[in-house]
Amino acid sequence: MSEKIKITILKGLIRTLVKPVFGPPWPYFIQRTWLDFMALINIKPKSTQITSVNMNGVPAQKVLNTQHRSDCKTVILYLHGGAYCIGSTKTHGGLTANLAKKCRAEVYVPVYRLAPEHAFPCAIDDSVQCYQWLLAQGFDACNILIVGDSAGAGLVMAAALKIKENKLAKPAGLILLSPWVDLTLANMTRVHDRIDPLLRWSNLKAASDVYLNGVEPNNPLASAIFADLSDLPAMLIQVGSEEILLGDARNLYEQAKKHEVDVSFNIFQGGWHVFQLQAGMLAMANDALEEISIFADNVTNSQLPKQEDLA
């Protein structure tokens, strides 16, 4: 089957079976259950091993590919998306398993607390606790990447800012897939949500309200484009050309450059919101993971002593 046909079919399935249930008027427990079920279409590579771990009191899954058990040097802390209200280790199981294989990494996926049951800043606190747990296990920060998609990418930025504030060892890099980093929804009037197969502005507005629970949306820990990004680790931003958060990704890129962060930015033409979830079945998603793998190798290797320094 050609890539063009696959894209057409996947967009149709997402637009028909996921978008109508992702957001109001459906209660969050229905959204969570349905998206967990729909995630069954995503592909996990063979030799994927998943175990339960406890990261400083935060339940999590450890994902690795047993073919690469002996040569894993990279550690990924993966913060899943879902507008701070839904999403799980199940919805992102295919993506995290493909990342584990492609990056030859141990991937840790926290079950962080979700709104509306747990509002801002609970998810941020959980994410930082998980990073501290990784350091306490003896993992070198220069081998740790913090990765996330959508609201999870917003958590990546918030966690990185808290890590800087608390003067913890800085991770090797940050990877942000379709980042939602402006909860003021300033881009709402710029892009009509009919072009995005998955997201609706009404969903983001409702989720933002229950997550913030009265906190101003321009709080830097909620909306990273308002934060001081100086001295953050190297960043890779990936976004699709057909999603309503394209403006957020562009603005984050510009802010990172303004604060002299080493940042790479890639718009995947024809891509939709977190198309990387379809890794293993879509060439565009596989290409995105290849770019992530190269970035991971570059930022982790760059922290290692040069050969001449060892002489």
Asked if residue 307 belongs to a domain, the reply is no
Supply the pLDDT for residue 64. Answer: 95
Asked if residue 183 belongs to a domain, the reply is yes
Asked if residue 49 belongs to a domain, the reply is yes
Please name the amino acid found at residue 274.
V
**How does residue 307 score in pLDDT terms, banded at 50, 70 and 90?**
very low
What are the pLDDT digits (tens) for 22-39? 999 999 999 999 999 999
What are the pLDDT digits (tens) for 178-235? 999 999 999 887 888 889 999 999 999 999 999 999 999 999 999 999 999 999 999 9
> Annotated active-site positions, please?
150, 243
Write the CATH number for 92.
3.40.50.1820
H/E run at residue 145: strand 144-149
> In a 3-state reduction of DSSP, which class is residue 230?
coil
Asked if residue 130 belongs to a domain, the reply is yes
Burial class (CB in 10 A: 0-12, 13-18, 19+), 274: buried
**Mean pLDDT along residues 254-271:** 97
**pTM, entire model:** 0.95
Asked if residue 223 belongs to a domain, the reply is yes
Task: Tell me how far apart the alpha carbons of residues 55 and 310 are, in angstroms, rounded to a whole number.
Answer: 35
Number of domains in the chain: 1
Instruction: Assess whether pLDDT exceeds 80 at residue 69.
Output: no
Using alpha carbons, list the distances in angstroms from residue 49 to 69, 93, 178, 258. Answer: 10, 11, 27, 41
